[in-house]
Amino acid sequence: MLRSAWTLAIEALSWMELEGLSERSALARASGQLGVEDSEALGLAHRLVFEVVRRRNLIDLLIDSVLAPRSLEDLTLGVRAFLRLYVYEAVVLGGGMEEAEKVARMGRSVLGWRELHGVEEALGELLSVRPDDLLKGLGDEERVALLTFHPAWFVGYCLRLFGRDEALRLLEGSMEASPTYIRVNTLRAPEEEVLKRAEAEGVTLQRVEGLRYAYRVLGSRRPLTGTRSYREGLFYIEDKASCLAAEVANPQPGASVLDLCAAPGAKTTQLAQLMGNEGDIYSVDYSRRRMETWRREVRRMGVKIALPVVADARKSLPLKSPADLVVLDPPCTGTGTFGSTPSAKWRLTENSIRNMADIQWEMLQACASHVKEGGHLVYSTCSITVEENEALIERFLKLRPEFRLEKAQPRIGSPGLLGQTECQRLYPHLHGCDGFFVAKLSRG
């Protein structure tokens, strides 16, 4: 099992670097490629990959300090992946010489001794490196970036936006993944029945105050996706922040709803649930591949009122009539999800915020014409940047004075910035979930 897990982890980390895959996509590809199905091996590989990627900047600094004048870039993908895993297990976790020798033997077993021959000396030197010594003399932003495992540009952004004390709390709160949440699906069975079924399968839940059907997972005997309750569509694995957006939208039974950027289906299935499967939902996404996932999830959850539309939300949509409710959850930088998807923070730059805001602006303008008089528009992202959120809403309201902000309810988060107190923000360190923004606007 242990060797399978390490082989998986090395392969997944290599795929991530080669093709820019996320942790989950890389692990799925590696497990399929290697034919690994053992749940314990998959679980250990998952932990190793996520924890290494989470600390990548500090781990790479430690390795490069020993390899100099060479660097990680001079090594093969497999050796890079192994060295990162080695530093995490033997140095970051403080495993010491015994653990280091065990990990080194594992690396030779997986990659072969010839592959590792050129870095054997570095393995011993890495045990004597003191991270604190490497931090001396660094600037404040760079030092905080290494201590909190974030890119320096993001640290600087947070310091400017929130001030030092609050920024440090946010950065520290984003170092780890948020708790896992599920949404009980009352389209399949009454809430109490779903809770009993989940309990019988060893899933321990705690209700989320202020939200309907949302529960925090305190424990589970097996992976949630491996339970019968999940397969039968009795619940959807969905972050608390995401659940809030649909509740703010508050769709009514019989309404017409336009769900933009709908795949993989979390919003569509929750909107249908809140509507009691009465009305019409037009779910739009540009990706046919993602819409296949949407179709599977809609079937699993028992949704009967959703129609898939493959189209680009930045352009005119093939819809005849305006909708009572338009819900836009556009692509974003995902700066609020760095804890649960750590690879994202190493793919982004500060320019990514501006580039993404341009796309979001196009979508926001395009979807406004699909809101009927007296209807509502709900905009949300899993980003904490102002450019992707309040600044966009401010610009939109100046251009489209027929829209006005409404108070986003239920209130489980913090007020929006730039004076937009009607909006809501969620933060990992304050609300125990992904970072999030949601605004509700009415027309007319």
| Catalytic center residues | 382
Structure tokens at 248: 């703010």
- Length of the chain equals 444
Distance CA 22, CA 43 (A): 16
DSSP β-bridge partners for residue 326 = 258, 377
For residue 211, give every residue at least 6 positions away whose Cβ sits within 8 Å of its Cβ, in sequence order, or none: 240, 243, 244, 247, 410, 412
For residue 377, give every residue at least 6 positions away whose Cβ sits within 8 Å of its Cβ, in sequence order, or none: 325, 326, 327, 328, 367, 368, 371, 403, 440, 441, 442, 443
DSSP β-bridge partners for residue 307 = 282
Distance CA 422, CA 418 (A): 11
From the list 284, 324, 347, the residue with the least C-alpha distance to 21 is: 347
Sheet containing 181-184: order of strands: 203-207, 214-220, 181-184, 235-237
Residue with structure tokens 């190493």?
346
Distance CA 342, CA 53 (A): 6
DSSP β-bridge partners for residue 204 = 219
Cis bond before residue 410 (omega within 30° of 0): yes
From the list 79, 77, 84, the residue with the least C-alpha distance to 58 is: 84
